[in-house]
Amino acid sequence: MIEVRNITKRFGGVVAVDDLSFDALPGRVTGFLGPNGSGKSTTMRCMLGLDTVNGGSATFAGRAYRSIVNPLYEVGSLLDAGYVHPGRSGRNHLRWMAMSNGIPTARVDEALELVGLTDAANRRVKGYSLGMKHRLGLAGVMLGDPGTVILDEPANGLDPEGIRWIREILTHFARGGKTVLVSSHLLAEIALMADDLVVIGKGHLIEQCSVDQFVARHSTKWTRVGAPEIERLLSAIGTSATSVTRLDGNRADVHGLTAADVGEIAARDNIVLHELSTQLDSLEDAFLRATADVQVYASTAPPPAASAPTSPPVAAPPPPRSSSLPPPGASGPSQDGPS
Amino acid sequence: MINLLRSEFFKLRTVRLNIWLPVGAVVALVVITGLVGLLSSDPQDFTNADLMGMIGAFSILVSMMIGVATSLGITSEFGHNTIRPTLAATPNRTMVFAAKAIVSVLFGLVVGAVAVTSSYIVGSVLLNGRDADVGLSGDDGSLASFFGVIVLAGLLALFGYGLGLLLRNAPAAVSIIILWPLLIEGILSGVLSVAGVEDPQKFLPYTSAFALVIPDPNDGPGGRISGGIFFGLVTLALVVGGMVVNNRRDV
């Protein structure tokens, strides 16, 4: 378990992290979210004792990181896959790490095999692709089979396959009982793997909750309905809805009524329905809404299409949480969101 | 600490520059000694002190190269940010920097020993094959100079590491290692002379250390032992300063 308590970090007059407290629990993936410049990386460096804090503390299973003698057995961290000497081979990079903590060399080969780098192990790192460096970094995390894993933006620059691989491996860690803390500035990416969220902005804690709770609090719900007699249905709905957006010939988005409400109205008037679903606006929109006031590097340029959502809405059946998330490649066509 | 020393030594030997730089320096010293042994017009006049004096003088360049290698070793940790995984693997910074210092000194001592031994063997075999009679003797300072080369290599290795640790910048550290004896101490010597200081060279640490490799210690500004100790203390101060600063700095 990771316990962060009142961490404050200042760089001169700039407060990068301000009295930040949160927990990350065993057996769960905790997504550490915030816009660029919100203090995620600084917090992680403070947690690992790489940056000195101006106040507060972080403990791993009750112990400060600096007090752990062989931390690779307890905490595996990857702050940046590029923190490798380019002239050293991948295998030798892992070997020095293993030696420093008394980890047997055989474990290096096991870790390389786990990440699929055995064939490239003796090549110098400067010839590695970004994806290979990420795999090497994760092999380093796995060396001591630690109970806690900390990763800073592990999917940065990866292709979709690499992102999926990272996601699967982190989920696997958590299912094995490890505490996983992973940072990102993209909620959509984190939402696919995280159980809990810690959202920060400008160094402050905005929210700590489960992904379900976050989405419920910050996203808008509406009902999508499709019917051959859409005009008759919309007439029947009348002023019960707060607003209605026509999509195409036989479909509409109804705001202010649940799917059950619309279904009952249709049944009462004997109107055939072809589609009836609850919609949530995108997770990204929810995240942007939650962090709107704490964007450090907000763009002043107008969005390409001011009325369009940043990503397509998603169907939102009731919990469990995972069912509310967009499966890979399942997003529908771009449509008008709620006004 | 043993794990850390093994790890740091492994790091040092798995970067090619750390191999080729000292190998090149040692080979250069052997070649120079060999050429002198082969081409000397009056080999029979060569004494023990002459051979060790020549090896000692050129060994300063070897020691500088060792210092460059150790300074690049630590500055590249900061340059490539590998210092972060290093300190994440071993959070006790004092232990990490001390282990690096120990490995640097051992590296210097080993390379210095290889350099002086190989060049001495080549030089003495070639000269003795041409009717000279050279060897090592405690009487003429050649034996002390032989070991002095090894000590200077160890000290300059530590000096390079200390500078790199303090500056965290490779060009700055390498420039100072090379320019310190040529430029900085030259200027300092001039300033001290103008200020009326008698025998100013004995106040110059780098130059004082050269007494270690001179067969006749009287040729050196402060004597062999005192010169070595003076430079050793300055080097130690650099390393301790670097450790104190880096124990506080964010990495």
Domain boundaries, chain B: 2-175
Best to test chain B binding among A7, A50, A67 (most B CBs inside 10 Å): A50
Question: A328 pLDDT exceeds 50?
Answer: no
Distance CA B208, CA B220 (A): 7
In DSSP terms, A31 is beta-bridged to A182, A197
Residues in chain B: 251
Q: Which stretch of A230-234, A317-321, B62-66 has the lowest confidence by average pLDDT?
A: A317-321
Q: Which one has a higher pLDDT value, A20 or A309?
A: A20
Residue A51 to residue B251, Cβ atoms within 8 A: yes
Domains and CATH numbers, chain A: 2-216 (3.40.50.300), 217-296+306-321 (3.30.70.980)
A107 touches chain B (CB under 8 A): no
Average pLDDT over residues A309-316: 44
A69 contacts on B by Cβ (under 8 Å): 92
Question: Nearest CA of chain B to the CA of A336: how many Å?
Answer: 46
Angle at which helices B48-79 and B16-39 cross, to 10°: 160
Q: Nearest CA to CA, how far is B80 from chain A (Å)? A: 6
Q: What pLDDT band is residue A296 in, cutting at 50, 70 and 90? A: low
Contact A83 B81 (CB under 8 A): yes
Would you tell me which residues 70-89 of chain B have a C-beta closer than 8 angstroms to some C-beta of chain A?
A: 76, 80-82, 84-89
Residues of chain B with pLDDT under 70: 136-138, 217-222
Shortest distance, CA A158 to any CA of chain B (angstroms): 21
Q: Is B84 within 8 Å of A92 when comparing Cβ atoms? A: no
Q: Does A83 touch chain B (CB under 8 A)?
A: yes
Q: Stretch A92-105: mean pLDDT, rounded?
A: 94
Whole-number pLDDT of residue A326: 30
* pLDDT above 60 (res A99): yes
pLDDT at res. A337: 34
Q: Which chain A residue's Cα is nearest to B87?
A: A50
A12 touches chain B (CB under 8 A): no
Strand pairing of A14-24 and A2-11? antiparallel
- Cα nearest neighbour of B73 on chain A: A85
* Contact (CB<8Å) B91/A96: no
Q: Do B149 and B213 contact (CB within 8 A), yes or no?
A: yes
CB contact at 8 A, B200 and B226: no
Query: Which of B12, B78, B90 best probes binding to A when mutated, by most A CB atoms within 10 angstroms?
Result: B90
Chain B contact for A10 (CB, 8 A cutoff) = no
Hey, what amino acid is at A234?
L
This complex has an ipTM of 0.81
Whether a cis peptide bond, with omega within 30° of 0, leads into A320 is yes
One-letter identity of residue A268: R
> Is pLDDT above 90 for A267?
yes
DSSP character string of chain B: -HHHHHHHHHHHHTSHHHHHHHHHHHHHHHHHHHHHHHH-S-GGG--HHHHHHHHHHHHHHHHHHHHHHHHHHHHHHHHTTTHHHHHHH---HHHHHHHHHHHHHHHHHHHHHHHHHHHHHHHHHHHHTTT------SSSSHHHHHHHHHHHHHHHHHHHHHHHHHH--HHHHHHHHHHIIIIIHHHHHHHHHHTT-SSGGGG-HHHHHGGGG-SSGGGSSS-HHHHHHHHHHHHHHHHHHHHHHHHHS--
**Tens of pLDDT, residues A48-58:** 999 999 999 99
* pLDDT confidence tier of residue A317, bands split at 50, 70 and 90: very low
Q: What number is the average pLDDT over the span A114-142?
A: 89
A153-193 pLDDT, tens per residue?
A: 888 777 788 788 888 888 989 998 999 999 987 777 787 88
pLDDT tens digits, B78-102: 988 999 999 999 999 999 999 999 9
Question: Looking at residues A17-30, what average pLDDT do you find?
Answer: 92
pLDDT at position A297 is 60
Query: What tokens appear for A35 in the block?
Result: 């816009």
Residue A332 is predicted with a pLDDT of: 33
Looking at residue A301, its pLDDT comes to 58
Q: Which of A96, A122, A133 to mutate to test the interface with B (most CBs of B within 10 A)?
A: A96
The confidence score (pLDDT) of residue A294 equals 62
Which chain A residues are Cβ-neighbours of B248 within 8 angstroms? 52
Q: Long-range contact list for B57-60, CB < 8 A, 24+ apart?
A: B57/B213, B58/B28, B58/B29, B58/B32, B58/B33, B58/B119, B59/B29, B59/B112, B59/B115, B59/B116, B59/B119, B59/B149, B59/B152, B59/B153, B59/B213, B60/B152, B60/B210, B60/B213
Percent of chain A with pLDDT over 70: 85
pLDDT of residue B85: 93
Please give, rounded to a whole number of angstroms, the shortest distance from the CA of B186 to a CA of chain A. 37
Which of residues B134 and A302 earns the better pLDDT score?
Answer: B134
Distance CA B207, CA B216 (A): 15
pLDDT for the residue A191: 78
Say how far apart CA B202 and CA B208 lie, in whole Å.
Answer: 6
* B233 C-beta neighbours (distance < 10 Å), count: 11
Chain B residues 6-25 within an 8 A CB cutoff of chain A = 6-8, 10-11, 14-17
Contacts of A89 in chain B (CB under 8 A): 14
More confident residue, B149 or A221: B149
Tell me the residues of chain A between 133 and 172 that have a Cβ less than 8 Å away from chain B: 140
